[in-house]
Chain A
Amino acid sequence: GNSVTQMEGPVTLSEEAFLTINCTYTATGYPSLFWYVQYPGEGLQLLLKATKADDKGSNKGFEATYRKETTSFHLEKGSVQVSDSAVYFCALSDEGKLIFGQGTELSVKP
């Protein structure tokens, strides 16, 4: 069946460092891909999405490119801030149902 694998956390970075959170997927066909973010004590918020191969989703300085050849959707940000500290989830859409990775906790230190 379809699945999503994320790099394990926690990831700890200093402010202004470059961020990469790896996400790979297994799927039949070409599902839409998503990144969600969960701030402490809150629900999940959609961060960005991509619906087809080579699409780049972007929002709030975060980017991810749908790579069909490597079945990947890595999340990147050029300069993280303390306020980016959160848990990040990669997900794919499987006939209307979301399949999530296990989540990666990011901690950004001043």
Chain B
Amino acid sequence: DAGITQSPRHKVTETGTPVTLRCHQTENHRYMYWYRQDPGHGLRLIHYSYGVKDTDKGEVSDGYSVSRSKTEDFLLTLESATSSQTSVYFCAIRTSGSLEGEQFFGPGTRLTVL
């Protein structure tokens, strides 16, 4: 168990509203990731972090921002939610210092934007 929790687990919101998803880890791993899962696309990387206040964009970062003010928390914000952001969002951590190390995933947040 990698000790990853995500909150909320389910959320329904309306177009144009801001939404923040939280990922929390119980260990002090440096690397954290946000992915979205959509049918036919597998998982795609949104943003990732390699330390406190150190973040970078992934493949599908448009419309999303992230923040990491503490090692254990990685927040994903949709500034103005759109229906195309309806998805399941997964947080992951990499426990190894090696770039080739595996990632461990949280339980996911199902977001519906009406």
Give the number of residues in A that approach B within 8 Å (Cβ atoms).
Answer: 25
Bound: A44/B6 CA distance, A: 14
Bound: A3/B107 CA distance, A: 25
The 4 A-B residue pairs with the shortest CB-CB distance in the complex, in nearest-first order: A100-B42, A32-B100, A96-B99, A43-B105
User: Is A81 on the interface with B (CB-CB < 8 A)?
Assistant: no
User: Quick check: A93 and B42 within 8 Å, CB to CB?
Assistant: no
Bound: A4/B69 CA distance, A: 33
User: Quick check: A43 and B106 within 8 Å, CB to CB?
Assistant: yes
- Which chain A residues lie closer than 8 Å to B45 at the CB level? 97-99
Of residues 4 to 33 in B, which have CB atoms within 8 Å of A's CB atoms? 31, 33
Q: A43-B90, A89-B42, A103-B42 are in contact. Are A97 and B104 (CB under 8 A)?
A: no
User: Is A49 on the interface with B (CB-CB < 8 A)?
Assistant: yes
B interface vs A, CB < 8 Å?
Answer: 31, 33, 35, 40-45, 48, 58, 90, 92, 94, 99-108
Bound: A51/B101 CA distance, A: 9
User: Quick check: A46 and B40 within 8 Å, CB to CB?
Assistant: no
10 contacts between A and B (CB under 8 A): A4-B42, A32-B100, A42-B107, A44-B105, A96-B94, A97-B33, A97-B45, A98-B43, A102-B42, A103-B42
User: Quick check: A43 and B107 within 8 Å, CB to CB?
Assistant: yes
- Which chain B residues lie closer than 8 Å to A36 at the CB level? 105
Q: A32-B100, A97-B58, A98-B103 are in contact. Are A43 and B40 (CB under 8 A)?
A: no
- Which chain A residues lie closer than 8 Å to B42 at the CB level? 4, 6, 89, 91, 100-103
Within the complex, the shortest CB–CB distance from B21 to chain A, in Å, comes to 14
User: Is A34 on the interface with B (CB-CB < 8 A)?
Assistant: yes
User: Quick check: B100 and A44 within 8 Å, CB to CB?
Assistant: no
User: Quick check: B43 and A51 within 8 Å, CB to CB?
Assistant: no
Bound: A4/B59 CA distance, A: 14
